[in-house]
Structure formats: structure tokens, C-alpha cells
Amino acid sequence: MTRIHRTCFFLLLAILPLTQWAQTPEATAIATIFDHWYTGDDQTIDLRIHTNLGQLFRNPDKEVYQEAEVSVTFADGSTEDYSGKVRLRGNMRREVCQIPPLKLKFKKKDMTDRGWLPHNDLKIVLPCRSTMPSEQDLIAEFLTYRMYGQMSALSLRVQMVRIHLTDSEGRKNDQELLAFIIEPVETLAARFALQEAERTSYRESFLEKDPYRQMAFFQYMIGNTDWNVYNGHNLKFIGGAPFKRLVAVPYDFDYSAVVGTSYAVPHESLPIRSVTQRLYRGLSCEEQEALDLIQFFSTREAELLQPVQTHPLLEKGKQKEMLNYLEGFFRQLDKTKGLVAELK
């Protein structure tokens, strides 16, 4: 689809009538760098980034790419080398974290020369600090992506990595950290023959109602209010046949109660004092719509909890915290009358 055609498609969304959620299309196998690195299970791959670490972390406010040599080692011991660039990313995490997230960028030609689509950017999430609690928070956020994937096929996949940061100048100590890579939105869209929306924010009326409500109720479940449709905060939008409207895809769950970072606080404009207080921020529901939403989650409790219950790197204490919070949500589903009123 050309840029003009994509623009016309998304402009048409403004005049099309609202419809029920179309059937999610089947995913197709595609070849991208993320798919090549993605294991689809709990395996961790080794990722080595060799760059000027002093220069990389010297100015956290700047988003300037610098040269990097990248190598990946897979579970079978095979290694692949890449030439790329790296920079810091993230807004709030760069302000509050000792170790900001990273973004890798490769040449599109290098991608296509390997027989892949030219999806050449990869976002990497690192622990906020080089401490065990921060590492467990990172695993919790990784599992939150996995939980959302249990609920919706239109979700961003994540791959756990053991990252090795080595200094090309020989002045900084090497760092070894647990981290994870987030699937690019364009890769998610390509898997379902959809397109990423060119705009970054929309009105609620532009969205498919059912998946939007389910996404918003998932955010309610995990205690996350750090997202906004109107300014596109922590949301990406994809669309295309068979959908008549857009589907909102969430990311960045570090401000959620279920992840439990020390810096997570609700925005001062919201009527809650702690992120552990749940607040529904989605499209209002009629009574039957609310009952359908409650039923949708009630029947998926086992699937949603499974990633937290089984991941080998999650410590028992953190697992207990996460499950206690999530199980509180599922107990709340039994209190139908009060919850229906909250969703209206």
C-alpha cells in the first residue's frame, strides 16, 4: 500500500460508521530481524553491543545515534555479527533510571540482503538500575507483555536477552544485564497484513470498540493508567481489512501496579493516589457490554496468569506480589453489580 493510499484509508476512518469488532485475521510468517531473533518461548539469547559507552550515557537528554558492533548468540551456540547504531530512548525512564532503554538501528539494505523485510529498528528495555529488584521489575514488565499476548493476538511480542555492553574505548567497565527486545509495530502489522497508522493520536470514535474496551480493561487489571488515546501516550495504532476502524496496541507497562517499580505514581490529574488503585479509562459501557467484557476476562483467567506462574527467572516473592494483585482483579469480577457501574 502506498503512502497516499494509506493516508486515504486512515482519513476514511473518520466517516465510516462504527462497527462490531471484525474477526482478527490470521498471522502469517514473515522474515524480519526480530523474527530471526525471536524464540517464542522462555529462552534467553545473548546480545553483545560494542560501542563508546562513555559517549552513549554522557548526555541522556540527547537522542543521537552512534556506531556500534552488535553480535547475537543463540541457544545452539551459533553467533551472528551486525554493524549498526545505538542510542538512548525513552522519556521518563531517562529521567528516573540509572540505565535508560536503548534503541538499535541497522541499515535497511543489510536487512534485505539477509532476505528480511527492511524493519531495521529494535527497542531494548533494560532494568532501571543494576540491582536485583530492578531486574525483577524488568521481568514483570516482560511478563505483562506476554499476558497481553495471551489476551490479544494483536500484541507486541517480546524477547528476553542477556545483554553485554562493552566499551570500544576501553575506559568503562563492561556491563551484563538482563533485558528484553520489543517487536517493532511495523512488524506486528506486517504479520497480520495490516498497516501502522501514520498519526500518533486519535479520538476514541476512531477505534474498534471491542478491542479498545478489552485493552482498557486489561490496563485496569494490571493497574496501569499511564496511557492516553488522545495524545497517543504509550499506544500505537494499526488498521486495515477486515477492520473498519483502528486497533490500539499498548506498550510500556512500567507504571503499572503489577510491575511495581519504585517510581510509578499516577498522574496528578487522576482521582487516585496510588497506582495500586484501579481506574477504568476506556470507552464507557452499556450494561450488556460491561457484562460481556467481564465474561471475556473471567473465562481467560488461567491463560492470563500462566506467564507469571511459570517463568523460570521470576523470583517467588515477586511472583507472589504479581499474583496477589492480579487475583484481586479476578475476585472483583464476581462483584458484577459494582463493576458494571464502574465501567459505565
Residue 186's nearest CA partner among 32, 297, 55 is 32
Residue 292's nearest CA partner among 214, 187, 175, 235 is 214
| Cα distance between residue 146 and residue 150, in whole Å | 6
Residues forming beta bridges with residue 236, ordered by sequence position = 249
Residue 117's nearest CA partner among 187, 62, 52 is 187
| Cα distance between residue 112 and residue 77, in whole Å | 24
The pair phi, psi for residue 244, each rounded to 5°, is -95, -20
Q: 129: buried, middle or exposed (CB in 10 Å: 19+, 13-18, 0-12)?
A: middle
| Cα distance between residue 157 and residue 20, in whole Å | 26
291 to 76, 175, 278, 297: CA distances (angstroms): 48, 49, 18, 10
**Residue pointed to by grid coordinates 506476554:** 146
Residue 90's pLDDT is what? 85
Q: Is 16 helix (H, G, I), strand (E, B) or coil?
A: coil
Residue 22's pLDDT is what? 52
Enumerate domains of the chain plus CATH numbers: 3-26+193-343 (1.10.1070), 33-186 (no CATH)
Residue 180's nearest CA partner among 145, 223, 219, 226 is 145
Residue 211's nearest CA partner among 15, 26, 18, 14 is 18
Residue 79's pLDDT is what? 98
Q: 304: buried, middle or exposed (CB in 10 Å: 19+, 13-18, 0-12)?
A: buried
Strand order through the sheet with 195-196: 195-196, 235-239, 247-250
**Residue pointed to by grid coordinates 493497574:** 223
Q: Is 305 helix (H, G, I), strand (E, B) or coil?
A: helix
Tell me how many degrees the CA angle 28-32-37 measures, rounded to the nearest 5.
105
Residue 332: its H or E element: helix 316-332
| Cα distance between residue 228 and residue 117, in whole Å | 30
Residues of the chain with pLDDT under 50: 1-21
8 Å CB contact between 213 and 297: no
| Residues 65, 63, 50, 103, Cα dihedral to 10° | -100
Q: Is 64 helix (H, G, I), strand (E, B) or coil?
A: coil
Residue 1's pLDDT is what? 46
Q: Is 323 helix (H, G, I), strand (E, B) or coil?
A: helix
pTM of the entire predicted model = 0.93
The three cell numbers of residue 87 are 542510542
